[in-house]
Protein backbone atom coordinates (compact mmCIF):
# COMPACT_ATOMS: atom_id res chain seq x y z
CA UNK A 1 0.00 0.00 0.00
CA UNK A 2 1.27 3.45 -0.88
CA UNK A 3 -0.85 5.05 1.86
CA UNK A 4 -1.44 8.74 1.12
CA UNK A 5 0.25 10.19 -1.94
CA UNK A 6 0.48 13.84 -2.92
CA UNK A 7 1.51 15.56 -6.13
CA UNK A 8 3.47 17.62 -6.82
CA UNK A 9 6.18 17.52 -4.14
CA UNK A 10 7.37 21.05 -4.90
CA UNK A 11 5.81 23.96 -6.76
CA UNK A 12 6.68 27.59 -7.36
CA UNK A 13 3.88 29.92 -8.48
CA UNK A 14 3.71 33.59 -9.32
CA UNK A 15 1.12 35.73 -7.57
CA UNK A 16 -2.26 35.32 -9.26
CA UNK A 17 -1.55 31.93 -10.82
CA UNK A 18 -3.76 28.97 -10.08
CA UNK A 19 -2.97 25.36 -9.36
CA UNK A 20 -4.44 22.17 -7.98
CA UNK A 21 -2.79 19.96 -5.41
CA UNK A 22 -3.67 16.32 -5.79
CA UNK A 23 -4.10 13.76 -3.02
CA UNK A 24 -4.99 10.09 -3.19
CA UNK A 25 -5.27 7.32 -0.59
CA UNK A 26 -5.47 3.58 -1.09
CA UNK A 27 -6.64 2.59 2.40
CA UNK A 28 -10.37 2.79 1.62
CA UNK A 29 -10.72 5.59 4.14
CA UNK A 30 -13.92 7.61 4.26
CA UNK A 31 -12.52 10.91 5.51
CA UNK A 32 -9.84 13.12 4.00
CA UNK A 33 -8.25 16.39 5.08
CA UNK A 34 -6.08 19.24 3.84
CA UNK A 35 -3.73 21.08 6.20
CA UNK A 36 -1.15 23.80 5.79
CA UNK A 37 1.96 24.19 7.88
CA UNK A 38 3.85 27.47 7.90
CA UNK A 39 7.54 27.51 8.94
CA UNK A 40 7.97 26.71 12.62
CA UNK A 41 4.23 26.44 13.15
CA UNK A 42 1.69 23.73 13.80
CA UNK A 43 -0.76 22.42 11.25
CA UNK A 44 -3.96 24.26 10.44
CA UNK A 45 -6.94 22.54 8.91
CA UNK A 46 -8.05 24.06 5.60
CA UNK A 47 -10.86 21.78 4.49
CA UNK A 48 -11.98 18.28 5.18
CA UNK A 49 -14.30 15.70 3.67
CA UNK A 50 -16.01 13.49 6.21
CA UNK A 51 -17.24 11.15 3.47
CA UNK A 52 -17.45 10.94 -0.29
CA UNK A 53 -19.62 13.71 -1.62
CA UNK A 54 -19.25 16.03 1.37
CA UNK A 55 -16.78 18.80 2.17
CA UNK A 56 -16.57 21.28 5.01
CA UNK A 57 -14.46 24.25 6.00
CA UNK A 58 -11.74 24.02 8.55
CA UNK A 59 -9.86 26.72 10.39
CA UNK A 60 -8.36 28.57 7.39
CA UNK A 61 -10.46 27.98 4.24
CA UNK A 62 -10.19 31.42 2.60
CA UNK A 63 -8.45 31.36 -0.78
CA UNK A 64 -8.94 27.63 -1.30
CA UNK A 65 -11.45 25.28 -2.85
CA UNK A 66 -11.64 21.51 -2.63
CA UNK A 67 -13.13 18.65 -4.56
CA UNK A 68 -13.76 15.14 -3.28
CA UNK A 69 -13.52 13.50 -6.69
CA UNK A 70 -14.27 10.01 -5.41
CA UNK A 71 -13.53 8.00 -2.29
CA UNK A 72 -9.80 7.87 -3.08
CA UNK A 73 -9.07 11.41 -4.22
CA UNK A 74 -9.34 14.84 -2.60
CA UNK A 75 -7.91 17.86 -4.40
CA UNK A 76 -7.10 21.36 -3.17
CA UNK A 77 -7.26 24.30 -5.57
CA UNK A 78 -5.74 27.74 -5.29
CA UNK A 79 -7.59 29.96 -7.75
CA UNK A 80 -5.37 33.03 -7.42
CA UNK A 81 -2.24 32.32 -5.43
CA UNK A 82 -0.92 34.89 -2.96
CA UNK A 83 2.45 35.05 -1.16
CA UNK A 84 0.58 34.39 2.11
CA UNK A 85 -0.20 30.92 0.77
CA UNK A 86 3.46 29.96 0.74
CA UNK A 87 3.47 26.90 2.96
CA UNK A 88 3.77 23.14 3.14
CA UNK A 89 0.48 21.43 2.39
CA UNK A 90 -0.37 18.06 3.89
CA UNK A 91 -3.17 15.76 2.92
CA UNK A 92 -4.43 13.17 5.39
CA UNK A 93 -7.06 10.47 5.58
CA UNK A 94 -8.80 8.51 8.31
CA UNK A 95 -11.13 5.55 8.40
CA UNK A 96 -14.01 7.63 9.66
CA UNK A 97 -14.48 11.26 10.56
CA UNK A 98 -13.81 12.67 13.95
CA UNK A 99 -10.51 12.43 15.72
CA UNK A 100 -9.64 8.95 14.58
CA UNK A 101 -6.06 8.19 13.60
CA UNK A 102 -5.13 10.25 10.57
CA UNK A 103 -2.55 9.11 8.05
CA UNK A 104 -0.58 11.90 6.44
CA UNK A 105 1.02 12.24 3.04
CA UNK A 106 4.58 13.50 2.48
CA UNK A 107 3.50 17.08 1.80
CA UNK A 108 3.72 19.60 -1.03
CA UNK A 109 6.07 22.54 -0.56
CA UNK A 110 4.52 25.57 -2.28
CA UNK A 111 6.22 28.90 -2.79
CA UNK A 112 4.31 31.88 -4.16
CA UNK A 113 6.46 34.76 -5.37
Partner 1 sequence: LAKTTQPISMDSYEGQEVNITCSHNNIATNDYITWYQQFPSQGPRFIIQGYKTKVTNEVASLFIPADRKSSTLSLPRVSLSDTAVYYCLVGGLATSGTYKYIFGTGTRLKVLA
Residues engaged in binding partner 1 (CB under 8 A): 4, 35, 41-45, 48, 50, 56, 58-59, 90, 92, 97-107
Q: How far is the CB of 111 from partner 1 (least distance, A)?
A: 15
Comparison of 19 and 50: residue with beta carbon closer to partner 1: 50
Which among 3, 34, 36, 57 is positioned nearest to 110, based on CA atoms?
A: 36
Sheet holding 19-25, edge to edge: 4-7, 19-25, 74-78, 65-68
Which among 35, 73, 70, 68 is positioned nearest to 54, based on CA atoms?
A: 68
Comparison of 73 and 104: residue with beta carbon closer to partner 1: 104
| Max intra-chain CA distance, the chain | 37
Q: How far is the CB of 80 from partner 1 (least distance, A)?
A: 26
Comparison of 13 and 92: residue with beta carbon closer to partner 1: 92
Q: How far is the CB of 55 from partner 1 (least distance, A)?
A: 10
Amino acid sequence: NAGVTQTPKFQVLKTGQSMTLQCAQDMNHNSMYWYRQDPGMGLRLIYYSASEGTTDKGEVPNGYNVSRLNKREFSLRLESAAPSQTSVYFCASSEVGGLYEQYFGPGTRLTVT
